[in-house]
A = this chain, B = another copy of it.
Amino acid sequence: MAVTDRVKQILSWYSSENPGTLTNLVRLLNHGALAGTGKLVILPVDQGFEHGPVRSFAPNPESYDPDYFYQLAIDSGCNAYAAPLGSLEQPAAKFAGQVPLILKVNNSDTLAKVEPCSAITSSVEDALRIGACAIGYTIYPGSALRNQQYQDLREITLEAKRKGLVVVVWAYPRGTGMSKQGETAIDVTAYAATISAQLGAHIIKVKPPTAFIEQEEAKKVIEKYQIPVSTLTERIRYVVQSCFNGKRIVIFSGGEAKSTESVLGDIKELAAGGAFGSIMGRNAFQRSRTDALKLLADVMTVYKNA
């Protein structure tokens, strides 16, 4: 399809990247129900690795099958499907070319209780081999091991950019550096998104932040300058602004599975705040296929009308 003015505007923010990376950005932005709008809804499934199969797939046993996610992403018109190597690779030949792929190159399990740090579980070479448009990488700002994560990301990013791939960073603040509540605090979320942009991410994924403020110094500034962070819409706007004044694609996760009403309520606020889209895992695949398709369609409609 043609490249819309909005997509061209987004590409103009990435003018330091080579044409290969721009091409893969277009592939993500020009696929599915939101093609051309500059908005993205992405289906991510790393829960098998991150939470184990019981917690992840038991609510919807069809989802044990890797085909299920490909088919769901294709049929729902998601812009892309993101997963660890195994899930992507197993049916990759079968679904080749039907939906843009994001290879999640690091992953963390929950069998060891240690300072958060994902293992690097696949590579740029794997991404090319299976035909992915992008690599995905999780950082845990707040972890005592964050530096190793940033350094590994730097190397992967350099290679990915040279090979024309897009770099998507999942920024999940956690670790000994912060309180549990702080992990989704507005100041911390905006900070984590900024770090991702500084590390060279093309697309940044964070959780929708709460109004809680973790850092004392941030609190003072927010109060002094009366930065509006009381509604989710305001907070989303602030996070997007924190990423090069909106010149990076910032998308938001849905978090734990919850009611349709609640999900759509959140999405409306995200869209109103200027979010570039959503990445919906459990809320999509832990519903029945019919319900998931309905929900994703509704979510896409919200973004299309934003």
- Per a CB cutoff under 8 Å, which of B96, B150, B194 touches A19? B96
A157-200 contact mask (Cβ, 8 Å, vs B): 1 or 0: 01000111000000001011110000000011011111101111
Report the minimal beta-carbon distance from A30 to chain B, rounded to whole angstroms: 6
Expressed in whole angstroms, the Cα–Cα distance for A27 and B112 within the complex equals 36
Expressed in whole angstroms, the Cα–Cα distance for A18 and B158 within the complex equals 13
Contact A199 B85 (CB under 8 A): yes
Chain B residue contacts of A142, Cβ below 8 A: 111-112
Does chain B have a CB within 8 A of A76?
no
Does chain B have a CB within 8 A of A5?
no
Report the minimal beta-carbon distance from A129 to chain B, rounded to whole angstroms: 5
Does chain B have a CB within 8 A of A141?
yes
Does chain B have a CB within 8 A of A147?
yes
Contact B19 A52 (CB under 8 A): no
Q: List 18 A-B contacts (CB under 8 A).
A: A2-B74, A3-B97, A16-B93, A20-B129, A20-B131, A22-B92, A22-B97, A53-B194, A58-B222, A85-B200, A89-B200, A111-B142, A111-B146, A112-B175, A112-B177, A114-B144, A122-B154, A125-B163
Chain B residue contacts of A195, Cβ below 8 A: 49, 109
B-contacting 9-mer, from A241-249, A259-267, A270-278: A241-249
Report the minimal beta-carbon distance from A215 to chain B, rounded to whole angstroms: 7
A interface, size bucket = 35 or more
Report the minimal beta-carbon distance from A3 to chain B, rounded to whole angstroms: 6
Contact B199 A86 (CB under 8 A): yes
Does chain B have a CB within 8 A of A26?
yes
Chain B residue contacts of A117, Cβ below 8 A: 147
Question: Which positions in A face B, CB cutoff 8 Å?
Answer: 2-3, 11, 13-16, 18-27, 30, 48-49, 51-55, 57-59, 61, 64-66, 74, 84-87, 89-94, 96-98, 107-114, 117-123, 125-126, 128-132, 141-144, 146-151, 154-155, 158, 162-164, 173, 175-178, 187-188, 190-195, 197-201, 215, 217-218, 221-222, 224-225, 227, 241-242, 244-245, 247-248
- Per a CB cutoff under 8 Å, which of B24, B94, B143, B224 touches A112? B143
Contact A66 B247 (CB under 8 A): yes
Contact B244 A190 (CB under 8 A): no
